[in-house]
Amino acid sequence: MRIAIDAMGSDKAVQPEVAGAIAAAKLWPHLSLILVGDEARIQAEAAKEGGLPQNVSIRHSTQVITPDEEPVRAVRTKKDASMVVAGKMVKDGDADAFLTAGSTGALVVVGTLGVGRMKGIERPALGTVMPSAKDPFFFLDIGATIDPRPEWLVQFALMGDVYAKAILGRKNPKVALLNNGAEAEKGNALTKATYPLLQEAKGINFIGNVEGRDVPFGVADVVVAEGFSGNIFTKTMEGTAMALMKQIKGALMSSLVSKIGALLIKGGLKPLVKKFDYTEIGGALLLGLKGPVVKCHGSSDAKAITSGIRFLKQALEQNVVEQIRAAIEAQGPGPEGVAE
């Protein structure tokens, strides 16, 4: 299992990437990790960590894509950018998967044009593991594909099902469609057209529509949305949790009595704060490509990079690409097979 790691993507690159890769290499010695980026800087950072383990190597590259660049243009002009090179390694069979903490927009372009879509997949989707009041769930698409066709959402559901099994260990994942009402006839033009297709889809346990109000309580294992409302959903969940936590901290510091109370409840609240901390989750997965791809937050630390590598390890061990291929094939020759 060879995983390419864009060493230049995060806000504090190359420190988190190098330290995170070294930690992962020690945890899982059967992985082969390739750090892609400025060799001198990677070597200097590795020296601080006691040098590179045997299963970590470097692929030198000279350019970097920054978050403010227009994605398509940046990917097309910067052929030697670390993210572009890492993507090409997967395409050429020099790596099985890749990870970046760089720009999401650029990653979607690198994924689609560089790595390339799996046969039969119409559009990639960005999926992520989200916390809930019960168990975590897998959510997609959080913004890779805007204004999609209903058939693409069905493919997202099939891919989400595979990932919920591989990453979350669910046996028969409950798959739901994010909608503005629970009833079958509710929705906009897209969700109304998608609902019957999901009912007919083979091999998934489609439980129907779910509302934004119910998802945070953990009613489904996989929640499917198009990229725009998916982005609204995940960011609103994150923002609301953060705003509420901030307010609670303020309220706890408002008097001496509540400060003493805060000390007493600290132990009980800590795991909860951690659970709803978005940055703990370790990133998003770009699905539907020839190899698994992980996007970590720009603000990732070494621990977040290691978590991202664990995602890729699980995806490779579970052979998700083959499983998705089989799930798509099981649908038979449908309209999506001849659409393009």
Residue 167 CB, nearest distance to a copy of itself (Å)?
21
How many chain residues interact with a copy of itself (CB under 8 A)?
61
258, 329, 330, 335: which one contacts a copy of itself (CB under 8 A)?
258
Q: Is there binding between residue 57 and a copy of itself (CB under 8 A)?
A: no
Cα–Cα distance, 99 to 113 (Å, whole number): 16
Residue 143 to residue 126: CA distance in whole angstroms:
6
How far CA 188 is from CA of 103, 147, 183, 208, 229, in Å, comes to: 30, 12, 12, 15, 11
**CA dist., res. 38 & res. 54, Å (int):** 19
Structure tokens at 287: 């699905």
The sign of the torsion formed by the CA atoms of 33, 95, 70, 128 equals negative
Could you tell me if residue 102 is left (phi over 0), alpha (psi between -120 and 50 degrees) or otherwise beta? beta
In the window 117-176, what residues touch a copy of itself (CB under 8 A)?
Answer: 132-133, 143, 146-147
CA distance 61 to 33: 16
Stretch that binds a copy of itself, among 2-10, 166-174, 183-191, 311-319 (CB under 8 A): 183-191
Q: Which is nearer to a copy of itself, 243 or 326 (CB)?
A: 243
Binding of residue 208 to a copy of itself (CB under 8 A): no
Nearer to a copy of itself, 48 or 266 (CB): 266
Residue 277: partners with Cβ closer than 8 Å, 6 or more residues away: none
Q: Which two tokens stand for residue 200?
A: 């007919």
Nearer to a copy of itself, 28 or 278 (CB): 278
Interaction between residue 193 and a copy of itself (CB under 8 A): no
Question: Least distance in Å: CB of 151 to a copy of itself?
Answer: 18
Nearest distance in Å: CB 124, a copy of itself: 16
CB of 272 to a copy of itself, least distance (A): 5
Site for a copy of itself in 213-252 (CB under 8 A): 213-217, 225, 227-229, 231-248, 251-252
From 37, 97, 336, 330, select the one nearest 203 (Cα to Cα): 330
279 lies in the site for a copy of itself, by CB under 8 A = no
For binding to a copy of itself (CB under 8 A), which residues are involved? Answer: 132-133, 143, 146-147, 178, 180-181, 187-189, 191, 211-217, 225, 227-229, 231-248, 251-252, 254-255, 257-258, 260-269, 271-272, 275-276
